[in-house]
Structure 1
Amino acid sequence: MPVEQLRKGIVAAVAIVTAATVGGLGITSAASALEETSTGSITVSNLADSGESVDVTAKAYKIIDVNYDYDTDQPETPEFTWNFAITGWVKSNFPEYIGADNSVTGEYEGLPNVEGETTSGIANNETTGEIAEFFDKLGASGKLATVAGSAKNTGNSVTINGLAIGGYYVEVTNNSDESTTANGLYVYRAVDANVLPKYVDKQWVVDNATIVAKRSKPSMDKSINERTSSEINTGLDKRDQGSDTAYIGENVKFDLRTDVPAYPSNAISKSYWISDAMDEALTFNDDITVEGVKADGSTVDLTGTDAYVKILNTKDMGDHDVTFLLKFDYDKIRAYSKIHVSYSAIVNEKAVVGTAIVNHAELQYNNNPYNGNDYTTIPDDTKVYVFGIKVNKIAAGTKTPLSGAEFKLQRNGETSKFVEVSTGVYRKALNTETGSETLVTDANGKLTVYGLKGADDDGNQLTYQLVETKAPGGYNKLGAPIDVTLTPIQDEAKDYTGHLEGESEIGYVAKDVENKTGKLPKTGGIGTIVFSVLGVLMIAGGVMLAASRKKA
Structure 2
Amino acid sequence: MLEKLKKGIVAAVAIATAATVGSFGLASTANALDRNATGSITISNLAEDGETVDVTAKAYKIIDVNYDYNADQPESPEFTWNSAIAAWVKANYPEYIGNGNIVTDKYEGLPNVEGETTSGIENNVTTGDIAKFFDKLGSSNLLTKVAGSAKNNGNSVTINKLELGGYYVEVTNNNGSDSTANGMYVYRAVGANVLPKYVDKQWVVEDANIVAKRSKPSMDKSINEQRKSDNINTGLDKRDEGSDTAAVGEAVNFNLRTDIPAYPSNAINKKYWISDAMDKGLTFNDDITVYGVKSTGAETKLTEGDAYTKTLNTKDMDGHDVTFLLDFNYEKIRSYAKIHVKYTATVNENAVVGEPIYNHAKLQYSNNPYRGEGHRTEEDKTKVYVFGIKVNKVAAGTQKPLPGAEFKLERKNVNEAFLFVKLQSGVYRKATSDEIKAGKADGTLQVDDNGKLTVYGLKGADDNGNPLTYLLTETKAPAGYNKLSEPIEVVLDPVQDEKKDYTGAVEGSTEVGYVSKTVENKIGKLPKTGGIGTIVFSVLGALMIAGGVMLLASRKKA
1:6 deviation in Å? Answer: 1.6
Stretches of structure 1 that go unaligned for 5 or more consecutive residues are 539-552
1:25 deviation in Å? Answer: 3.8
1:36 deviation in Å? Answer: 1.7
Equivalent residue for 1:423? Answer: 425
Structure 1 window deviating more from structure 2 (122-131 vs 207-216): it is: 122-131
1:112 deviation in Å? Answer: 0.9
Distance 2:55 2:19 in 1: 44
Give deviations 1:219-262, integer Å, cap 9, x for gaps. 00000000211111110000011111111010001000000000
1:208 deviation in Å? Answer: 0.2
Give the conservation status (yes or no) of the 8 Å contact 1:55–1:183.
Answer: yes
Equivalent residue for 1:480? Answer: 486
Distance 2:386 2:489 in 1: 19
Give deviations 1:84-140, integer Å, cap 9, x for gaps. 000011111111111112111111111111111114544599552411111111111
Distance 2:540 2:269 in 1: 101
1:24 deviation in Å? Answer: 8.3
Equivalent residue for 2:114? Answer: 115
Specify the SS of the correspondent of 1:433: helix
CA RMSD in angstroms, aligned pairs only: 2.1
Give the conservation status (yes or no) of the 8 Å contact 1:307–1:332.
Answer: yes
Structure 1 window deviating more from structure 2 (113-122 vs 350-359): it is: 113-122
Distance 1:66 1:465 in 2: 86
Give deviations 1:368-409, integer Å, cap 9, x for gaps. 112222001111110000010100000000101111101011
Give the conservation status (yes or no) of the 8 Å contact 1:394–1:515.
Answer: yes
Distance 1:135 1:318 in 2: 32
Equivalent residue for 1:451? Answer: 457
Pairing of 1:152-163 with structure 2 (within 5 A): 152-163=151-162
Give deviations 1:248-279, integer Å, cap 9, x for gaps. 01000100000000011111110000000011
Equivalent residue for 1:149? Answer: 148
Give the conservation status (yes or no) of the 8 Å contact 1:177–1:367.
Answer: no
Equivalent residue for 1:348? Answer: 348
Pairing of 1:135-534 with structure 2 (within 5 A): 135-176=134-175, 178-226=177-225, 227-304=227-304, 306-411=306-411, 412-413=413-414, 414-434=416-436, 435-521=441-527, 527-531=533-537, 533=539
The answer on 1:98 being equivalent to 2:104 is: no
Pairing of 1:117-136 with structure 2 (within 5 A): 117-122=116-121, 126=125, 128-136=127-135
Distance 1:382 1:148 in 2: 48
Specify the SS of the correspondent of 1:27: coil
* Counterpart residue type for residue 90 of structure 1: V
Give the conservation status (yes or no) of the 8 Å contact 1:111–1:128.
Answer: no
1:27 deviation in Å? Answer: 3.4
Give deviations 1:428-475, integer Å, cap 9, x for gaps. 111222221110010000000001111100000111111111111111
1:15 deviation in Å? Answer: 2.4
Give the TM-score, by structure 2 length. Answer: 0.93
Distance 2:123 2:100 in 1: 27
Distance 2:192 2:378 in 1: 32
1:522 deviation in Å? Answer: 6.9
Distance 1:513 1:535 in 2: 41
* Cα 1:452–1:238 shift into 2, 3 Å: same
* Cα 1:123–1:96 shift into 2, 3 Å: farther
1:34 deviation in Å? Answer: 1.1
Give deviations 1:9-33, integer Å, cap 9, x for gaps. 2122212213323338433467611
Distance 1:370 1:258 in 2: 22
Give deviations 1:309-344, integer Å, cap 9, x for gaps. 101111000000100000001111110010000100
Distance 1:55 1:327 in 2: 27
Specify the SS of the correspondent of 1:90: helix
* Counterpart residue type for residue 15 of structure 2: I
* Counterpart residue type for residue 175 of structure 1: N
* Cα 1:123–1:278 shift into 2, 3 Å: closer
1:210 deviation in Å? Answer: 0.5
Specify the SS of the correspondent of 1:353: coil
Give the conservation status (yes or no) of the 8 Å contact 2:111–2:128.
Answer: no
Specify the SS of the correspondent of 2:99: coil
Distance 2:40 2:125 in 1: 31
Give deviations 1:58-93, integer Å, cap 9, x for gaps. 000000000111110111111110000000111111
Give the conservation status (yes or no) of the 8 Å contact 2:363–2:379.
Answer: yes
Give the conservation status (yes or no) of the 8 Å contact 2:125–2:132.
Answer: no
Q: How many pairs were matched up?
A: 538
Give the TM-score, by structure 1 length. Answer: 0.94
Give the conservation status (yes or no) of the 8 Å contact 1:44–1:159.
Answer: yes
Specify the SS of the correspondent of 1:331: helix
1:525 deviation in Å? Answer: 7.9
Distance 1:17 1:425 in 2: 96
Pairing of 1:47-58 with structure 2 (within 5 A): 47-58=46-57
1:304 deviation in Å? Answer: 2.6
Equivalent residue for 2:40? Answer: 41
Give deviations 1:516-552, integer Å, cap 9, x for gaps. 11132479986344256479999xxxxxxxxxxxxxx
* Cα 1:449–1:124 shift into 2, 3 Å: closer
* Cα 1:133–1:356 shift into 2, 3 Å: same
Distance 2:275 2:330 in 1: 16
Distance 2:332 2:118 in 1: 15
Give the conservation status (yes or no) of the 8 Å contact 1:253–1:343.
Answer: yes
Stretches of structure 2 that go unaligned for 5 or more consecutive residues are 545-558
Give deviations 1:277-330, integer Å, cap 9, x for gaps. 011110000000001010111111114350101011110000001000000011
Give deviations 1:477-505, integer Å, cap 9, x for gaps. 11111011111111111111111111231
Distance 1:433 1:531 in 2: 57
Give the conservation status (yes or no) of the 8 Å contact 2:39–2:162.
Answer: yes
Give the conservation status (yes or no) of the 8 Å contact 1:120–1:334.
Answer: no
